[in-house]
Structure 1
Amino acid sequence: LIDGSLQPDAGTVNVSGGLAVMPQFVGTVRDGSSVRDLLVSVAPDRIRNAARAVDAAEAALASNDDEAAQMVYAQALSDWAEAGGYDYENTWDMCTIEALGASYYSVMDREAVTLSGGEQKRVVLEALLRGPAEVLLLDEPDNYLDVPSKRRLEQQLRETRKTVLLVSHDRELLSEAADKILSVEPSPAGADVWVHGDGFASFHEARTERFARFEELRRRWDEQHARLRKLVVSLQQAAAVSHAMASRYAAAQTRLRKFEEIGPPPEPPRDQDITMRLKGGRTGVRAITVEKLELTGLMMPFDLEVFQGQRVAVLGSNGSGKSHFLRLLAGQPVDHSGAWKLGARVVPGHFAQTHAYPELEGRTLLD
């Protein structure tokens, strides 16, 4: 709604200053686009349009290297320069050096799919935080980031002079970076939105107090409703024996009807109670055994034993091979050397980082 992709059913949206958006899908780019394409996708319209013109002119020149194609290409480069494209390339160079440890010109044609989810996020975040837009919309910017990158993001959000509206489920990021909370909560009448004018540290206490106010308002409404109904009944009985009470009876009926037309206060948002149950059959003592395992081009050989019932955290920088390691244990093809095996009666359950399961397309939720 804020970036204009959707139109509100009611009300208006006003944005002061330039606006830049990081969509949620950044980190799961698998469409064959390059690092340059990824950076262009979050640049201002004039840069995106100029980049598309350069791409089209290059493609035309490659298929037909005549004078007309050369003139179109020269004009596209001139437009790119006039739009500030080369200045952006200098900024993008700083972004890729910070996020990937390599210059922009050395990675610009690299397919984004070869980057980890965290590396894609870091490249885009660097571009937006260094860019000219005064207002940033960040949809789950912390997804896929390793611990040092999350710490850097928290620091950048604290220090930036930009206005930032971010969506996140990370309590630590919210505590460190947000100074106001906009809460969207399910309620019987639809999503209920309220603003907590302080940070995340006091959010839960304020939310509990808000729920208590809902309950108090409903209790008062019920009490007043009961009093009005009782008054109508008593005046009805009085009017039956005295015509002088008829006008008071009619007035009480009108009052009750208007009270009921206004209706009770809205029901409080539903407090979600989510319980996770992770169950599995008993297995051998050793659930996973790894001997001199090396993921080709990603990590040095290592040994590991995981015993039944253990909870093991796999930490590492973005692009170090954590997801590859889990995919290997799940039975997917991953280039490696060394040995690994699952224990007796062990059946792996793999919850993938990107949740991408093309084989389920068109299937039902139950499937």
Structure 2
Amino acid sequence: MILSCQNISKSFGTTEVLKNASFHIEAHEKAALIGINGAGKSTMLKIIMRDMSADEGEVVLAKDTSIGYLSQHQDIKGARSIYEEVLSARQNLIEMEAKIRSLETQMKNASQRKLEKLMADYTRLNQSFEMHNGYAYRSEVTGVLKGLGFEESEFTKLVSTLSGGQKTRVALGKLLITKPDIILLDEPTNHLDMASINWLETYLINYPGAVLIVSHDRYFLDRVVTKVIEIDGGKVLSFEGNYHSYSEKKALIRHAAMNAYLNQQQEIKHQEEVIEKLKSFNREKSIKRAESREKMLDKIDRLDKPSQVRDDMHIELTPQITSGNDVLHVEHLSKSFGCERLFSDINFDIKRQERVALIGNNGTGKTTILKILNQIVLPDEGKFALGSKVQIGYYDQEHHVLHMEKTVFEEISDTYPDLNNTMIRNVLAAFLFTGEDVFKPIKSLSGGERGRVSLAKLMLSKANFLILDEPTNHLDIVSKEILENALSNYTGTVLYVSHDRYFINQTATRIIELTNGQLVNYIGNYDYYREKRELLTKAYAPKSEDETTASSTAADSKTDWKKQKQEQAEQRKLENEIKKCESQVEELEIKNDKLDKEMSRPEVSTNVTRCIELSKEKDMIAKELEKLYDRWEKLSEKKETI
């Protein structure tokens, strides 16, 4: 055991955040700390790091254990470059290397007597330097920075000029380079693109130390962690396995706890009714019996009502009118900022009821495409057209659709003047704004709260084409699941940008990836995308050193996206037909076996009429099986050809 938290309690005023919370982390273990926003996750990390004191309980670290911590917000200062800042985490090796170089210089001019001592020091330092991976630490820094999404051309940028997200990535790189025995990470994926998240997953899975992660990224947790520690109502429970395993176990526990609570409530109600009835008889014996039952009832250890999956945030997205089948047509779209070209000659269509995820690395132009479609940004070339009766509802991750000077109430009432005060209050309550909260200025709200206001406006818009830019940012896991359910039941059309792979997996019917300045189309969810990405990227958007070849390939991909979509749809159709064929074969073979058993029975084998009937039935099955075997072979060959 490398870390133990024992009976930790913490209150802020009258709010008890943690109540006798206990858990432990083993050496090399990868664990997640989860809970809704405000549950006390970051508080727990700060208590472990001694940045905050607990009211009760203690944190115990194993002897000589080093610990590293990445908080959500970083404010790195100083005049160092990105590379120098991360490299400074290996200051011990920098100093050791300088000392080795100094000893080499001294040995050139040293006397024989002094040379022996210098040689001994040199050998000792070299061994230590090599043991601590000294000959590779600079390349290791380069690898970590590239893994976290920094280009080599950015290494010389001063950290003082970086955005908050970039500073967090620098801090994460610095932490990983130090390689402490246990790493605490608070929302490490918030400022990473998909490629960087994939790299971090692999890094942490293979990390030799222990890791404790606070994250709302369920796909990330599924891949990395082997234990989930949940904070729920101030109490802590530990579950072995990844997030998916935790989710299943938690549902069973919640169901059992609720049943126990309801059964006890039913028994209490029954006893209270009996007591009341006995008292109503108004006889000495019946009153004594009632008092006896009351005493027994007082001794019952009453169960608290279990916390349920939060259902107090209600999102119901309903289009006012149905659009035409063709919702969006985009052709020859190009956009550059200065000399930096984001994408060129982009073409795609979206049909009614599709839920399309637009993905790609940071800086590829995903949000720019959404802004072009909402006429916030003009394209350099190309055009787009909306289909018949299409009404857009736009969710902006920067919340430009909100007016910072207005209150939450005014934001809704000014946008929808037909709603009365009660209706507005009810809508805001559905998004967890109650009481005086509705009069808070938009500018004073957190990112998650602004997101909820934007979602409330979206719900009221009755739009039939939703364009969403990072809709799950700042939402906790429960809120994400509520939004996922709302979108999955939405009868309109959705186009969204998201880095949340679990969210994409649950909601997308199609994925288009913006890569190498082009779009690659995937008819399926994120798991399908992962399976086919390498193959389809190579075919439709390859990288090439030869500009002519690259241009030619890009031109092909511009006109080929429909063909690509048809090919994938045909392959899916073939796979379904093959499964159907295999199922029919299995049914007939089972039926044939039953006939064999029937014919082997003594009373049947001596019945000529019945034997003839069964033989004819077996002949029909044999002919049908022959046809199915032939069809299965042809379908399989066709699938291989595609």
CA shift in 2, pair 1:202/1:6, >3 Å: same
What's the CA shift for 1:155?
A: 1.3
1:96 aligned residue (128, 136, 145): 145
- SS of the equivalent of 2:256 reads helix
**Using the alignment, how far apart are the partners of 2:241 and 2:201 within structure 1?**
17
1:293 aligned residue (318, 334, 353): 334
Paired position in structure 2 for 1:279 = 319
What's the CA shift for 1:177?
A: 0.8
TM-score normalized with structure 1 length? 0.63
**Using the alignment, how far apart are the partners of 1:233 and 1:338 within structure 2?**
81
8 A contact 1:288–1:343 mirrored in 2: yes
**Using the alignment, how far apart are the partners of 2:374 and 2:84 within structure 1?**
33
Higher helix share: 2
Matches within 5 A, 1:18-37: 18-24=66-72, 36=81
1:267 aligned residue (282, 293, 305): 305
**Using the alignment, how far apart are the partners of 2:256 and 2:276 within structure 1?**
30
CA shift in 2, pair 1:229/1:105, >3 Å: closer
**Could you list the runs of 5+ residues in structure 1 that have no partner in the other structure?**
47-88
8 A contact 2:85–2:174 mirrored in 1: no
What's the CA shift for 1:361?
A: 5.4
Which protein has the larger Cα radius of gyration, Structure 1 or Structure 2?
Answer: 2
Deviation per CA, 1:164-186, whole angstroms, max 9, x where unpaired? 2223333322221111112345x
**Using the alignment, how far apart are the partners of 2:318 and 2:171 within structure 1?**
35
What's the CA shift for 1:214?
A: 1.1
- SS of the equivalent of 2:298 reads helix
Please say if 1:198 is aligned against 2:245: no
TM-score normalized with structure 2 length? 0.39
Please say if 1:360 is aligned against 2:404: yes
Equivalent pairs: percent with the same residue? 19
Paired position in structure 2 for 1:49 = none
What's the CA shift for 1:100?
A: 1.5
Matches within 5 A, 1:74-85: none
What's the CA shift for 1:104?
A: 6.8
Report the residue type matching 2:253 in the other structure: R
What's the CA shift for 1:338?
A: 1.3
Report the residue type matching 1:96 in the other structure: L
- SS of the equivalent of 1:106 reads coil
CA shift in 2, pair 1:34/1:329, >3 Å: farther
Matches within 5 A, 1:237-276: 240-241=283-284, 252-259=293-300, 262=301, 264-272=302-310
**Using the alignment, how far apart are the partners of 2:77 and 2:392 within structure 1?**
30
**Using the alignment, how far apart are the partners of 1:314 and 1:227 within structure 2?**
57
Report the residue type matching 2:175 in the other structure: L
Matches within 5 A, 1:30-69: 36=81
Matches within 5 A, 1:1-367: 1=43, 2-4=45-47, 8=54, 11-14=57-60, 17-24=65-72, 36=81, 93-98=142-147, 99-102=149-152, 105-108=155-158, 111-113=161-163, 122-143=169-190, 145-185=192-232, 190=233, 193-222=236-265, 225=268, 229=272, 240-241=283-284, 252-259=293-300, 262=301, 264-272=302-310, 277=317, 279=319, 282=323, 285=326, 287-296=328-337, 297-309=340-352, 310-333=354-377, 337-343=380-386, 348-355=392-399, 359-360=403-404, 363-364=407-408, 367=411
**Using the alignment, how far apart are the partners of 1:302 and 1:120 within structure 2?**
34
What's the CA shift for 1:305?
A: 3.6
- SS of the equivalent of 2:317 reads coil
What's the CA shift for 1:293?
A: 1.0
Deviation per CA, 1:7-28, whole angstroms, max 9, x where unpaired? 55554455564444334457xx
8 A contact 1:129–1:160 mirrored in 2: no
**Using the alignment, how far apart are the partners of 1:222 and 1:19 within structure 2?**
47
8 A contact 1:3–1:21 mirrored in 2: no
**Using the alignment, how far apart are the partners of 2:78 and 2:318 within structure 1?**
37
CA shift in 2, pair 1:286/1:362, >3 Å: closer
**Could you list the runs of 5+ residues in structure 2 that have no partner in the other structure?**
1-42, 92-136, 412-642
- SS of the equivalent of 1:360 reads coil
Paired position in structure 1 for 2:9 = none
Report the residue type matching 2:177 in the other structure: R
What's the CA shift for 1:340?
A: 2.9
Report the residue type matching 2:162 in the other structure: A
**Using the alignment, how far apart are the partners of 1:348 and 1:164 within structure 2?**
43
